[in-house]
Structure 1
Amino acid sequence: MLTAAAVVTGLGSSGALVAAAFAVLEAGGDGGDVGLVAAARTAPLVLFLLIGGAVADRLPRHRVMVAANALNCVSQALFAVLVLTGEARLWQMALLSALGGTGQAFFAPAAEGMLLSSVTGEQAAKAFAYFRMGMQGAQIGGAALGGALIAAVGPGWVLAIDAAAFAVAGALRAFLDVSHIRERVAGTGMLHDMREGWREVASRRWLWSIVVQFSVVNAVIGAADAVYGPLVAEDHLGGARSWGMALAAFGAGTVLGGLLMTRWKPRRLLLAGTLCVFPFALPSAALAVPLPLSLLIVVMFVSGASIEVFGVSWMTALHQEIPEEKLSRVSAYDWFGSVSMMPVATALAGPAETAVGRTTALWGCAALTVALTAAVLTVPEVRRLTRRSPAPAAAGGPVDGREADAAGVPAGETGR
């Protein structure tokens, strides 16, 4: 049911992200306005993520997810009504996007903690791959359908579909079976819990170095996708339908990457994953040229496949190294680092286009991605962290390999 809820949400959300950009353009906005609305969604996500992680490690995670889905449902429904009635104003779209980001701030750490705590043993990586395949597969259909619907009936209906998807997903998550997850004991306070999460992150150089890497990579790639992608599509590729096809190709690539990771178990998890981040720079370069739609689709497909290898490897490393009762807090710091620069990047995307031109800005996105990925490979723990086989469990003991931490094996040193 966890996967089914993710699929339903992905179907609606992937199309809605495209719809929000085109809703701004339809209302008379420009690239700067698109960037501001995107930034309005990301700013509260950054602001509330650490609180969301602490809450998800104190309360039942599935209940936090349901509450977040309800908020997202309401905000997207109101967004849809405004767009469909032709009454949408920039400040209203920014405010509703901010409410959606607030919901995501509480949802993301709870969801990742829920997923990581739901699987054990050697099948964990395969379970992560299948889950991500379901989620990414939904994005293929959602992006393609969203682009087609935007072209046919406008962005408002796509936003309405997303609101309905959040309602269905929240209902599914309300009935999750959580009997297999042990109860957690809350810490002495919210700040104490947040400090504990920070210590888990700061003590692992492989973890914080990759989080720092993606704080910039996600920001520049997010700006390219949210702001420059729709603009390039509008000017050179035929509009929303073409950009939806490109995003669908990226989603199809992630499915291929997920299939690969159900079979391939690289011994050096983060080395293999980080090497596969380099192709993530290709879509920005393709938009900078810009390549024709057929070649852009190929580039997006390859990029999606490669980044999925990183995604599964990263989740496997977290599952292996982080204690279960701290998963949501560590996930919150991971998310915080990964999205903290996105409001700045998306807000500055329009001014950067004016200052240096869209082409130069896109080449800059690609160059930063390559440079930071190369820098992370200089960290020894990233190159050396090694997949562990689960140790034989004592009766009633853990079976997922995290017992190595309790046995005196420092999490960041397992690859030495």
Structure 2
Amino acid sequence: MTWSSALAPLRNRNFAWYFASRFVNTLGNMMASIALAFAVLDITDSPTALGQVLAAHTIPMVALLLYGGVIADRFPRTLVLQFSNVASALSQGAIAVLVLAGHAEIWMLVLLSIVHGAVSGVGFPAMASALPQLVPRSDLQPANALISLTRNGMMVIGPTLGALLVVTVGSGWALAVDALTWALAALLLVPVTIPPKESAGEPADTLRELREGWSFFWATPWLWIVVVGFGVLNLIHAGAWSTLGPAIADDTIGRQGWGFVLSAEAAGFLVTTVVLLRVRLERPLLLGMLGVLLMAPPMLILGVSPHLVGLVIAAFAAGAGTEVFGMGWNLAMQENIEDRMLSRAYSYDALGSFVAIPIGQIAFGPLAAAFGYRPVLITSAVAYVVVVALVLCSRSVRTLPRAPVSEPAPAAQ
């Protein structure tokens, strides 16, 4: 794959506008996470209150993912995204106004976070499934890589920009900037035109469409096996790495050292994305699951001997492997699932993958207190390897190939 072919999706008018929208949206999201955290802490100085505000966003988002999949398979996906972006701009803008005016209270932020989480749940399946309607199948890998490049780049600089805004002008103005990015993301989608959906000839019935989505999900072995596996893997990752990691770092490599580790992980994402712009990924799920396996070593090092250099190297490799999986998973979904079912498939994927994350966040602290950090982390690393191995026992996962290019390219219009 040449650099010309790697950048080919950007010559497609529809994808170029969609890419610009995702770029702006991702930048705002990366800044907003740190801005909202400090806005809450400015009001109460209570980590518990911050957890309540974050949970108020997560719970309705997860609860509405399935409904979002139905909506995105029923209506034009760009329209669904525009609605989600505008509603997010209004909810974030309301939080910013309350914070800037000095009238913000936790219950207000909780209510507005519920609204923001709900519209995010509706919009996520549309965002995940829009790409195959914008580029020809032959351009799916470079298009996904360009989107990943944006996301991973923003993972590196977005929180820094957010922190800079918080320090210089305050968390309220940082949230206001985030609200503007949501509005701009919606505006950038206006020029995107995609073919209208073909009518199935049946009246809309949400429950029937949900059942149809579930039947497809359960009848596709590689799909549900990977999702079930990731339900457990994400639980382990959220508990062992994201929750226990900072606590161990505080007593060993230090907070700045933990920052270096997370930056190395983000660098692994970024470097691998650039590689995948040029290298075609065959056997997407086999290579993806083998890549995910690289998350076990940093957890093991964290539990056995948390030295900075070893953790940085292992985190970089884990980030690279995780990015290989992300690319492989998107290609598997986009190339092997028909368009009319794709949003619902993504919604069941997200629900199964995300639903156990809060369990890991809540459970691993008490587990470490009861049994010690070292045994919990070593057990977590071993369990991670076992789950990946069980997923790879499925022949449908190991042998799923890249789909052949057969359909004509979508018009650039």
Q: What TM-score, normalized by structure 1, do the two folds share?
A: 0.81
Q: Secondary structure at the match of 1:267?
A: coil
Q: CA shift at 1:207, angstroms?
A: 0.6
Equivalent pair of 2:137/2:335 in contact (CA under 8 Å): no
User: What amino acid is aligned across from residue 164 of structure 1 in structure 2?
Assistant: L
1:329 is aligned to 344
2:283 is aligned to 268
Q: Secondary structure at the match of 2:64?
A: helix
Q: 1:294 to 1:379 in 2, by over 3 A?
A: same
Deviations along 1:312-342, one digit per CA (max 9) or x if unpaired, are 1111111221011111111111111111112
Q: CA shift at 1:298, angstroms?
A: 4.2
User: What amino acid is aligned across from residue 335 of structure 2 in structure 1?
Assistant: Q
C-alpha distance in structure 1 between counterparts of 2:243 and 2:175, whole Å: 18
Q: 1:366 to 1:3 in 2, by over 3 A?
A: farther
Q: 1:259 to 1:104 in 2, by over 3 A?
A: same
2:54 is aligned to 38
From 335, 338, 345, the counterpart of 2:360: 345
Q: 1:200 to 1:75 in 2, by over 3 A?
A: same
2:45 is aligned to 28
1:102 is aligned to 118
C-alpha distance in structure 2 between counterparts of 1:286 and 1:158, whole Å: 36
Query: What aligned pairs does 1:23-102 form with structure 2 within 5 A after superposition?
Result: 23-25=39-41, 27-30=44-47, 33-83=49-99, 89-102=105-118
Deviations along 1:155-200, one digit per CA (max 9) or x if unpaired, are 444433322221211111233232xx34232553111211221122
C-alpha distance in structure 2 between counterparts of 1:194 and 1:284, whole Å: 37
Total equivalences in the alignment: 390
Higher alpha-carbon deviation: 350-359 or 322-331: 350-359
C-alpha distance in structure 2 between counterparts of 1:331 and 1:353, whole Å: 34
Equivalent pair of 2:252/2:306 in contact (CA under 8 Å): no
User: What amino acid is aligned across from residue 183 of structure 1 in structure 2?
Assistant: K
From 206, 211, 215, the counterpart of 1:199: 215
C-alpha distance in structure 2 between counterparts of 1:312 and 1:57, whole Å: 22
From 202, 223, 232, the counterpart of 1:216: 232
Q: 1:7 to 1:376 in 2, by over 3 A?
A: same
C-alpha distance in structure 2 between counterparts of 1:12 and 1:217, whole Å: 28
Q: CA shift at 1:297, angstroms?
A: 4.7
User: What amino acid is aligned across from residue 123 of structure 1 in structure 2?
Assistant: D
Equivalent pair of 2:234/2:354 in contact (CA under 8 Å): yes
C-alpha distance in structure 2 between counterparts of 1:326 and 1:120, whole Å: 18
Q: What TM-score, normalized by structure 2, do the two folds share?
A: 0.81
C-alpha distance in structure 1 between counterparts of 2:40 and 2:250, whole Å: 13
Q: CA shift at 1:110, angstroms?
A: 0.5
C-alpha distance in structure 2 between counterparts of 1:290 and 1:212, whole Å: 31
Query: Cα RMSD (Å) of the superposition?
Result: 3.2
Query: What aligned pairs does 1:123-202 form with structure 2 within 5 A after superposition?
Result: 123-150=139-166, 155-178=171-194, 181-185=195-199, 187-188=202-203, 189-202=205-218
Structure 2: 5+ residue stretches without partners: 1-16
Structure 1: 5+ residue stretches without partners: 392-397, 401-416
Q: 1:360 to 1:40 in 2, by over 3 A?
A: farther
Q: CA shift at 1:309, angstroms?
A: 0.8
Q: CA shift at 1:54, angstroms?
A: 0.3
Q: 1:7 to 1:249 in 2, by over 3 A?
A: farther
From 302, 305, 328, the counterpart of 1:313: 328
What percentage of aligned pairs have identical amino acids?
35
Q: CA shift at 1:44, angstroms?
A: 0.9
